[in-house]
Amino acid sequence: MQGVEEPLDKEDVEKEEEHSQEDNDPEYKVSDDNSENKQSDDEIDESISTTWKIYYEEDNATTVREKLLVMFYQHLRECFGGCKTVNQAILHAQNVRRILDLLDPSKDDATFESLLKDGGVIVWRLWARPMLESKKMRPGSVRSYLLSLAKFCEFVVDHVVNKVESFPSIPEDVVQRDGAVASRFKSMCSTVSKEYAHAKWERQMEEKQNAIPTSVIESMMESKKAQEAIGYLTLSYNSKPSESIFLSIRDYLIARLAIEKCQRPGPFETATLKEFECAKEVDERFVMSVSRHKTSRASPAPITMTPNTMSNLKAYVKYVRLHFAKPEVDTLFVTRDGEAFQPGTIGKCIKRWWKQATGLDISSTALRKVGSTETMNEDLETQKAVQAVMTHNRTTAKQHYQILKRTKQAVKGHDALAKKLGLQDSVATNFPESPTKSPGKNTSLFRGPADRHRFVVF
């Protein structure tokens, strides 16, 4: 652990928490299923989170270790723990649980001292480094686990120092070691960022190879799934839609808004009926402002749509949603059970719709990347407008979404250097397309003296 960079600051910590459950936890992965008769992805996620929510909130822990994990979850849900969502709190607690179970599978350690062995380096040696070297987990996911461990250690120190009622008795020397190890886990996060920075670029290069062609988006409305949903919207005026029709309409509208906006799907989860009713018409577009979303501190998230899409949403609200949404639920989009979507789950509707429509795995992140990339050569004011509608800044766009920008900049720079240096191009090396060998004939690649300048032997 020599040469470790400085620990994460507050902004870095917030970025680490952005990693979704799909990246961090195989338990949250759900396979795509095109059947509308089976349980949907969002409901499976909801079932998982509900199960753990009941476990952590009922507080039936029988061991000190379980008690600590339950109280850690409760701490994260409260003000000094950051008021995390249920899923975020569950994720942090489960991250700690898995590392503890790995280091101490027989649970001989009654508390958490296995994390503190050798100043916490045991976590790096037995878990983090093997995961990274084997590529079983991405660097960002490893950092998220390490951040969970750091939060857990800080939580223990905080509760001991403040003598929180009913907190298990922890030896003083363990508490002291715990406080030191918390900062070391954050330093490990920085080490991962430094030593495995290449993984980020490898992933971006792979994404560049697999980027969505604009032709796929251009043909969206020609797809059977889109035409089917539009037809169902018209039929809903005279008859109550079935559950499968409801899902077809809902998922189409979410996918449509996602591509018109190319923004994070979070605002689609939290948008309310009131916010929809307050949408304003501006320059032949409708804009719905959503107050609750990931970057709420900056401003409301504008969801912009064409008049036609607005008419689709009006029909959905008036003739479809009312048959499925529970009376007390005020979100624009609801699950088949009539509940609001759990945080971080509506993106699966987008991915599922595109899979059914095109057979391709297209996520909301992939849509954001193609949207940002395709507009990167526009004038500065247009780029700023695009970034505003996508609710991210220029730095975010350059680092994460404009996947072709560096490549095109490299070509432009290469041409400029060659021009300024007066560098002549190299001489092409040409091979026969289908070389054949015949007995007794010269099989040399050189056809004559004039061709020999094409090859240099070292």
Position 345 in a domain? yes
Confidence of residue 37 (pLDDT cuts 50, 70, 90): very low
User: Residue 314's pLDDT is what?
Assistant: 94
Q: Is there a contact between 42 and 342 (Cβ–Cβ < 8 Å)?
A: yes
Position 436 in a domain? no
Same domain, 187 and 257: no
Burial class (CB in 10 A: 0-12, 13-18, 19+), 449: exposed
Confidence of residue 455 (pLDDT cuts 50, 70, 90): very low
Q: Averaged over 350-365, what is the pLDDT?
A: 85
What is the rounded CA–CA span in Å between residue 103 and residue 149? 13
Same domain, 147 and 224: no
Same domain, 176 and 280: no
Same domain, 135 and 108: yes
Q: Residue 152 contacts by C-beta under 8 Å, 6 or more apart in sequence? A: 72, 92, 96, 112
Check: pTM over 0.75? Answer yes or no.
Answer: no
Tell me: the pLDDT tens digits for 242-298?
Answer: 999 999 999 999 988 888 776 778 888 989 999 999 998 888 888 888 887 565 555
How far is residue 220 from each of residues 50, 89, 195, 216, 357, measured CA to CA in Å?
Answer: 35, 37, 41, 7, 8
What is the rounded CA–CA span in Å between residue 147 and residue 111? 19
Position 458 in a domain? no
Tell me: the pLDDT tens digits for 183-202?
Answer: 999 999 988 888 877 766 66
Residue 27 pLDDT exceeds 50: no
For 13, left (φ over 0), alpha (ψ -120 to 50), or beta?
alpha
What is the rounded CA–CA span in Å between residue 305 and residue 309? 6
Of the residues 164, 195, 226, the one at which a domain ends: 195
Position 377 in a domain? no
How far is residue 15 from each of residues 140, 152, 183, measured CA to CA in Å?
Answer: 10, 18, 17
Same domain, 31 and 178: yes
Same domain, 184 and 43: yes
Confidence of residue 390 (pLDDT cuts 50, 70, 90): low
Give the structural domain span for 98: 10-195
Tell me: the pLDDT tens digits for 297-333?
Answer: 556 888 888 899 999 999 999 999 999 999 999 999 9
In one-letter notation, the amino acid at residue 280 is: K
Looking at the chain, the whole-number percentage of residues with pLDDT higher than 70 is 67
Same domain, 18 and 138: yes
Same domain, 114 and 263: no
User: Residue 383's pLDDT is what?
Assistant: 58
Burial class (CB in 10 A: 0-12, 13-18, 19+), 450: exposed
Q: Averaged over 359-386, what is the pLDDT?
A: 67
Confidence of residue 422 (pLDDT cuts 50, 70, 90): confident
Range with the poorest average pLDDT among 141-150, 354-363, 365-374: 365-374
The helix-helix angle for 172-195 and 139-161 (nearest 10°) equals 160
Secondary structure, 3-state, the chain? CCCCCCCCCHHHHHHHCCCCHHHHCHHHCCCCCCCCCCCCHHHHHHHHHHHHHHHHHHCCCCCHHHHHHHHHHHHHHCHHHCCCCHHHHHHHHHHHHHHHHHHCCCCCCCCCHHHHHHHHHHHHHHHHHHHHHCCCCCHHHHHHHHHHHHHHHHHHHHHHHCCCCCCCCCCHHHHHHHHHHHHHHHHHHHHHHHHCHHHHHHHHHHHHHCCCCHHHHHCHHHCHHHHHHHHHHHHCCCCCCCHHHHHHHHHHHHHHHHHHHCCCCHHHHHCEHHHHHCCEEECCEEEEEECCCCCCCCCCEEEEECHHHHHHHHHHHHHHHHHCCCCCCCECCECCCCCECCCCCCHHHHHHHHHHHHCCCCCHHHHHHHHHHHCCCCCHHHHHHHHHHCCCCHHHHHHHHCCCHHHHHHHHHHHHHHHHHCCCCCCCCCCCCCCCCCCCCCCCCCCCHHHHHHCCCC
Residue 446 pLDDT exceeds 60: no
Of the residues 301, 331, 361, the one at which a domain ends: 361
Position 63 in a domain? yes
* Counted domains in the chain: 2
What is the rounded CA–CA span in Å between residue 307 and residue 284? 7
> Which is more confident, 42 or 62?
62
Q: Averaged over 440-444, what is the pLDDT?
A: 44
Same domain, 227 and 188: no
Same domain, 88 and 31: yes
> Which is more confident, 374 or 334?
334
Q: Averaged over 12-41, what is the pLDDT?
A: 36
Position 334 in a domain? yes
Q: Is there a contact between 68 and 360 (Cβ–Cβ < 8 Å)?
A: no
Instruction: Kindly report the CATH number assigned to the domain that includes residue 294.
Output: 1.10.443.10
Instruction: Name the β-bridge partners of 301.
Output: 290
Position 451 in a domain? no
Q: Residue 26 contacts by C-beta under 8 Å, 6 or more apart in sequence? A: none
CA dihedral 234, 236, 238, 244 (to 10 degrees): 130
Position 78 in a domain? yes
Among 64, 124, 66, 130, residue whose Cα is nearest residue 93: 66
Same domain, 189 and 218: no
The two structure tokens encoding residue 9: 């600051």
Q: Residue 58 contacts by C-beta under 8 Å, 6 or more apart in sequence? A: none
Same domain, 229 and 340: yes
Of the residues 136, 166, 195, the one at which a domain ends: 195
Instruction: Name the β-bridge partners of 134.
Output: none
